[in-house]
A and B are shown apart, each in its own frame.
Chain A
Amino acid sequence: MWGGGGGGMGGGWAPWGGHGPGGRAQWMAQQGLRRSVDAWDDEELGAAYNHEVTVRLLRYVKPYLMRALISTIGVVTGAILLNYQPAIISDAVNAAVAGDTNTVVDKSLILLVMVLIGWGAQYTQLSQAGFIGHRVLLKLRQEMFAHLQKLSLRFYDNNEVGRVMSRVQNDVTSMQELLSSGFLTVFGDIIGLAVIVYVVTSRNMELALVTFSVVPILIIVTFFWQIYARRAFMRVRQAIAIVNSNLQENVSGVRVIQSLSREDVNAERFSSLNEDNMRANIEAGRLQAAIMPMVELISAAATALVMIYGGHKVLQGQLNLGNFVLFIFSINLFFQPIRELVLQYTQLQRAMAGGVRVFEVLDTHPDIEDDPDAVDLDDIRGEVTFDHVDFDYVEGVPVLRNISIEAHPGETIALVGATGAGKTTLTALILRFYEVTRGSIRIDGIELKKIKRSSLTRRTGVVLQDPFLFSGTVKENILYGRLDATDDEVTEAAKAVGAHDFIMKLDHGYDTALHERGQNLSVGQRQLISFARAVLARPRILILDEATANVDTRTEVVIQKALRELLKDRTSFVIAHRLSTIREATRIIVLEHGQIMEMGTHDELLAKDGIYANLYRMTYERLEEPTEGAVEELPLS
């Protein structure tokens, strides 16, 4: 009752489940755990206690059983010692009143010993539990990351990077407090309450019953409060999520925003989201501010009851002064865990919601996994067979239909077609980024599903239209293609694609650190590095998806030459719009709406005078048809 209007940060947790029913949100939280999600839905998670989360978290504690045991002993010892203190104080007061100085000194010494042991117990508990907590967080982070690596591209198509990130970062962090001290403190609090109830009832059962008569009021008040609190704190979490995602987008898109001079509008918009967040928080703060005085008032009522009823009993000689004082002290201790819980309610709620989301990630079933009997291909020849392959991203919306191709080593297959015809998807299937819907793809006659993905990609090189580089040095980025390559091999690969010269001109050559996504290089330069990366991998199958779209002509010629050498007995799939590239292909496949419309060499297709010939003419006739200014001849790829 004298908690001073609240103010502890002390990680006091108590299970809420006993008081309030989980309700809709909790049910959904539990459902969420079981669901295998394609796209996560941010359900409204408001329960402050979730049994499933708790149980699963406890499983992570298993490797640290010894530490957990030590910590538990610390908690129990600490809880008993702390909550037994009023009994000793009461004895000392009785002795003092009776003039028994020896007992006073004895009791004081006992109390001193209790305090010192209590210190040791608390230190042990916190350091051990902290170790376990941070260790579990580490494990959760690592497991989530590892799990994310297993999920297929279908997952990434459906879930924004920002949202996935927030799960690995924010949701894990939100459990930190719960893990490092929360669970054990709850346990300690329960033990503590038991000790208090034992001491108090054993000293005077009647007064104990009178004092605890306020407890039902407390339960009712907190029950109604948490209904409001749950909603308010949920709004808080949603509001901050919106603020953060807006911020993230604006930081990533800052260049466009500046070039369009949209800073003011965006700032206004951000400010209004930021304000929504502030309002939601202040509203939640109001609830937080309201509950504490109520708890304190109830605690004060208990003290007043002891004062009046207990005092009356003292006057009648039915209670000694020491025990009267004991009751007064015990009330404070009794309300302490409740006070802490109210203070930590938001955090508890956040931690549980975080737990649900974290496990949701871990439970997301990877839809592409190596077959248990998948073979590890040491080397592959590079026969690629598409056998009546159908594919759709969304059921009922076919992207590829009835694709049959047989590609042999040494063949260069050019994929031609309008945007959205399915060219990139087709190459993605070779890499098993997605699983085919019907039909099958075989490499060297072996079903793709029966080949270990790692052995497949080891001999497959890919250069994508949008080159992605990691922060790190130029060398590290090229090495990504084959980790055990020597420096000479790296240089050789760079030379082969004409990247060597510009790399040498960078401040630190191959050791130049790249900024996030390689932004200190031009797109063309990035593409060259990603090309070198693919070349270094010495692939048997090469996929070039607009690989040279952003490099200048001279460099492209260098690459073309290198490729001619490189592709000699490899199988390659090339998506390109430059005729020079397409023309050199051994076979051209024309795709339209996910179907193969034409297949053959350049000359064959021209002779056929179909779609390809038409496309070809469209490109070149315009060249010879001067219209106004230079406009007409803008970058032709």
Chain B
Amino acid sequence: MSTHLRLLTFLLPYKKQVIIAWIAVALTATFTMAIPQLVRFGIDTGLKPPTFIDTGSKIAEPLRADETTMQLTEPADVSVGQKVRIGSENMTIESIDGTTATVERGVEGTRVVAHGKNSDVRRVDRDRFEGSTRTLLIAGSLILAAALLRGVFAYWMTYLSEWLGQHIAFDLRNGIYDRLQRLSYAYHDKQQTGQLMSRATQDVEATRMFIVMGVLRLMQMLLMITVAFVLMAFSQLTLALIAWALLPLIAFQSIRVQGRSRRIWMLIQERLGSLTTILQENLTGVRVVKAFSREKYEEAKFNKEAEKLFDANYSQNKIQSFNNPFYQTVGSLSQVAVLCVGALMITKGNLTAGELTAFIIYLQLLVQPLRVLGFVVQIFARAGAAGERIFEILDAESAVKEKPDAVTLTSVKGAVHFNHVSFSYDAISPVLHDVSFDVEPSQVVALLGPTGSGKTTIVNLLPRFYDVTAGRIMIDEIDIRDTTIASLRSTIGIIQQDVFLFLATIRDNIAYGAIDATQEQIIEAAKIARIHDFIMSLPDGYDTWVGERGITLSGGQKQRISIARTLLLDPKILILDDSTSSVDTQTEFLIQQALAAVMKGRTTLVIAQRLRTVKNADQILVMKDGTIAERGRHEELIAQDGLYREIYDLELRDQDEALRRAGIITEASIEGTAS
């Protein structure tokens, strides 16, 4: 239940609206409940139907159609000349003496028939409709007036409940968005986009329904039920008690079903999420699916998961199929009881026709709330599940947190120090172990080593995408955990392996990190990144849309846009991650030029798999199994005859041969490079 309470706390900023909505709810309920009373007034006063009052006496013997004298079970409080009614026959008392009475039969055109023993003797209070059209007019007008007023309040009630629901959904969505944006890589590594999306859409919707239905509609229903009960109790207590005898059944069923329903909703949401994931992977990986003709396999995978979703949905449907008619039937049963008892009371004169009508209308009115209750139970259950899933996101702590007294990094020189840094993604298997190195401002550090040796991890630690497990990283002697994350990251430019472009224009993509950039700056950056000419060759130039609906850019083009993007940020420290591995020679040439421009005057950490890349680096770190196996400059490492040498030989022999065959280098230069 605490999930629900917590959802309700989201209403706190909107106290005023909640109060107004509640007033509207109360007034709507009041005027709704007034209408049956007006109908009763119309019947009882406007029509004044015939009424008969029970004398408490019965006939002791059967009364034949031709008889005029009868024996009563006890003396009746009637006088000579008064009209009485036995069964449906009116008679006039001609004489009465204790329990013996003589009557004139068939008065007012009623049919003379035989009456059985123990038939009630009722005094005729009114034997015809005595109302007036004027009163009926008043009743009719009042009904219209009440409906009009109720309409006004109902409008505000509905409008405000929608208003509140939408505001809560708005806040939740913003909250989820904000949280997801700020959660560190460690969180996103484990999440699936499909699952996150389904929380931000379906679960938020379920929560909104909870606010609208649970908080306001439910209140209205409860209020109506209470008001109806009070009015009924005042009107006829016995009948009211009969009407409400079955109510506990509804409460019982609601509680019974709640827990189970919530579990099923949880299951439904989860399975929907899995289905989304399969679908998304299938669509994004369509080339692989087609290349291996795995369509049938994918279908089987999807179908299996879809069947599971069906199972969950069907379980939910079974509960609902039982539950919804159940509530309604309980209401109808009460109606039957009220009708039976009430009608019998009318025959005894203990209840007026108007009152019975009002009772039945009340119960009809309550069928609606009871039906809604069936849904509210489901909505509560669903909101419980949905709330839990939403709070899982909202409560997720970013593994990377900013200290309250974090300082802003300004005028960074660009020195980087790794001090005994260890790191592990899952606290079990270490990825980096005791890594230490120092980089002077504007130096170039090349990281190399086999796949999985920890190069990428090192560059992910510097912008605090992850936090070190042990040791510390410093920029200009300041521990990066003491700085604000924004200032740290704006100090560092990253040209990533996977270039992610947003569905936006080329201009917006280049200015993605620097929104204030002017057109001149953007063009300047694009020129340095050697992408300007290409952009200008497009019909829409910088306004060309990229992404799935726009033009498709090649890897090299994307990379150069990403370089331009980084250039605009003017970072002091640069991280390059395998940046130019998948482009053709010409493009590569352009990228080389672009990178040379970017790296000028910046501290650079570059993950390089090509030895040529690192030959002239100020420092080479050769990584192996999460530690630095060798370090130094190219010549030093070659002399060491270790891992670097091994990799170097492998690469160089190959390339040398190529060069020799091409005949474009001299013997001398080969010797020069090889030494």
Which residues 446-472 of B have a CB within 8 angstroms of A?
446, 448-452, 456, 463, 465
**Alpha-carbon separation in the docked complex, A1 to B428 (Å):** 67
Question: In the complex where A92-B343, A259-B494 touch, is A131 in contact with B314 (Cβ < 8 A)?
Answer: yes
A residues in contact with B88, CB < 8 Å: 98-100
The verdict on B10 contacting chain A, using a C-beta distance below 8 Å, is no
B residues in contact with A522, CB < 8 Å: 451-452, 456
Interface centre among A148, A180, A464 (most CB of B within 10 A): A148
Contact with B along A507-521 (1 / 0, CB 8 A): 100000001110110
Query: Are A555's CB and B213's CB within 8 A?
Result: no
Contact with B along A67-95 (1 / 0, CB 8 A): 00000000000000000010001001101
Q: Name the contact of B193 in the complex, choosing from A130, A133, A252, A630 (C-beta under 8 A).
A: A252
Which stretch in B74-82, B232-240, B358-366 binds the other chain?
Answer: B358-366
Contact with B along A312-354 (1 / 0, CB 8 A): 1011010001001100110010000000000000000000000
A residues in contact with B157, CB < 8 Å: 5, 289
Chain A minimum-CB-distance residue to B163? A282
The verdict on B542 contacting chain A, using a C-beta distance below 8 Å, is no
Rounded to whole Å, the gap between the CB of B575 and the closest CB of chain A is 9
**Alpha-carbon separation in the docked complex, A3 to B369 (Å):** 9
Interface centre among A457, A552, A553, A618 (most CB of B within 10 A): A552
Q: Name the contact of B143 in the complex, choosing from A161, A304, A460, A618 (C-beta under 8 A).
A: A304
Question: In the complex where A260-B512, A261-B489 touch, is A329 in contact with B364 (Cβ < 8 A)?
Answer: yes
Chain B minimum-CB-distance residue to A103? B343
Chain B minimum-CB-distance residue to A116? B329
The verdict on A525 contacting chain B, using a C-beta distance below 8 Å, is yes
Question: In the complex where A4-B220, A97-B353, A480-B292 touch, is A308 in contact with B136 (Cβ < 8 A)?
Answer: yes
Which stretch in A135-143, A188-196, A217-225, A402-410 binds the other chain?
Answer: A135-143
The verdict on B283 contacting chain A, using a C-beta distance below 8 Å, is yes
The verdict on A149 contacting chain B, using a C-beta distance below 8 Å, is yes
Query: Are B154's CB and A554's CB within 8 A?
Result: no
Contact with B along A6-39 (1 / 0, CB 8 A): 1111100000000000000000000000000000
Chain A minimum-CB-distance residue to B144? A304
Contact with A along B131-144 (1 / 0, CB 8 A): 11100110111011
Which residues 143-191 of B have a CB within 8 angstroms of A?
143-144, 146-148, 150-159, 162-163, 166-167, 169-170, 173-174, 177-178, 180-185, 188-191
The verdict on B192 contacting chain A, using a C-beta distance below 8 Å, is yes
Rounded to whole Å, the gap between the CB of A104 and the closest CB of chain B is 4
The verdict on A55 contacting chain B, using a C-beta distance below 8 Å, is no
Query: Are A252's CB and B500's CB within 8 A?
Result: yes
The verdict on A380 contacting chain B, using a C-beta distance below 8 Å, is no
A residues in contact with B486, CB < 8 Å: 261, 263-264
Query: Are B39's CB and A328's CB within 8 A?
Result: yes
Contact with B along A293-304 (1 / 0, CB 8 A): 110110111011
Rounded to whole Å, the gap between the CB of A170 and the closest CB of chain B is 8
Query: Are B155's CB and A105's CB within 8 A?
Result: no
B residues in contact with A528, CB < 8 Å: 451
**Alpha-carbon separation in the docked complex, A104 to B87 (Å):** 13
The verdict on B407 contacting chain A, using a C-beta distance below 8 Å, is no
**Alpha-carbon separation in the docked complex, A95 to B347 (Å):** 8
Query: Are B310's CB and A135's CB within 8 A?
Result: yes
Question: In the complex where A101-B344, A251-B180 touch, is A307 in contact with B293 (Cβ < 8 A)?
Answer: no
Query: Are B167's CB and A278's CB within 8 A?
Result: yes
Query: Are A165's CB and B158's CB within 8 A?
Result: no
**Alpha-carbon separation in the docked complex, A336 to B181 (Å):** 47
**Alpha-carbon separation in the docked complex, A179 to B146 (Å):** 38
The verdict on A54 contacting chain B, using a C-beta distance below 8 Å, is no
The verdict on B414 contacting chain A, using a C-beta distance below 8 Å, is no
Rounded to whole Å, the gap between the CB of A152 and the closest CB of chain B is 8
Query: Are B463's CB and A553's CB within 8 A?
Result: no
Question: In the complex where A254-B180, A281-B166 touch, is A118 in contact with B288 (Cβ < 8 A)?
Answer: no
The verdict on A63 contacting chain B, using a C-beta distance below 8 Å, is no
Q: Name the contact of B586 in the complex, choosing from A123, A257, A418 (C-beta under 8 A).
A: A418
Query: Are B150's CB and A5's CB within 8 A?
Result: yes
The verdict on A59 contacting chain B, using a C-beta distance below 8 Å, is no
Q: Name the contact of A9 in the complex, choosing from B166, B275, B321, B372 (C-beta under 8 A).
A: B372
**Alpha-carbon separation in the docked complex, A514 to B425 (Å):** 14
Number of interface residues of A (CB under 8 A): 199
Query: Are B158's CB and A108's CB within 8 A?
Result: no
Question: In the complex where A104-B344, A148-B283, A274-B173 touch, is A637 in contact with B588 (Cβ < 8 A)?
Answer: yes
Chain B minimum-CB-distance residue to A304? B140
A residues in contact with B515, CB < 8 Å: 262, 265
The verdict on B47 contacting chain A, using a C-beta distance below 8 Å, is yes
The verdict on A60 contacting chain B, using a C-beta distance below 8 Å, is no
Chain B minimum-CB-distance residue to A151? B286
Interface centre among A133, A264, A311, A462 (most CB of B within 10 A): A311
B residues in contact with A637, CB < 8 Å: 580-583, 588, 610
**Alpha-carbon separation in the docked complex, A623 to B585 (Å):** 13
The verdict on B662 contacting chain A, using a C-beta distance below 8 Å, is yes
Query: Are B320's CB and A553's CB within 8 A?
Result: no
Question: In the complex where A2-B364, A265-B515, A300-B35 touch, is A554 in contact with B450 (Cβ < 8 A)?
Answer: yes
Question: In the complex where A552-B451, A554-B450 touch, is A417 in contact with B584 (Cβ < 8 A)?
Answer: yes
Which stretch in B93-101, B249-257, B299-307, B474-482 binds the other chain?
Answer: B299-307
The verdict on B429 contacting chain A, using a C-beta distance below 8 Å, is yes
B residues in contact with A180, CB < 8 Å: 317
A residues in contact with B188, CB < 8 Å: 254-255
Query: Are B353's CB and A93's CB within 8 A?
Result: yes
7 smallest A-B Cβ distances: which pairs? A293-B151, A285-B162, A5-B154, A300-B147, A630-B616, A260-B513, A108-B340
Interchain Cβ contacts under 8 Å between A and B, 27 examples: A4-B224, A8-B372, A9-B375, A108-B339, A118-B332, A119-B325, A122-B325, A122-B329, A126-B320, A130-B317, A161-B548, A250-B177, A256-B502, A263-B178, A293-B152, A307-B46, A311-B139, A315-B136, A465-B555, A517-B284, A577-B582, A580-B658, A621-B664, A630-B446, A630-B614, A635-B608, A636-B612
Known A122-B329, A632-B592; further 9 A-B contacts with Cβ < 8 A: A157-B552, A169-B279, A248-B197, A300-B35, A418-B586, A457-B290, A481-B292, A525-B452, A620-B664
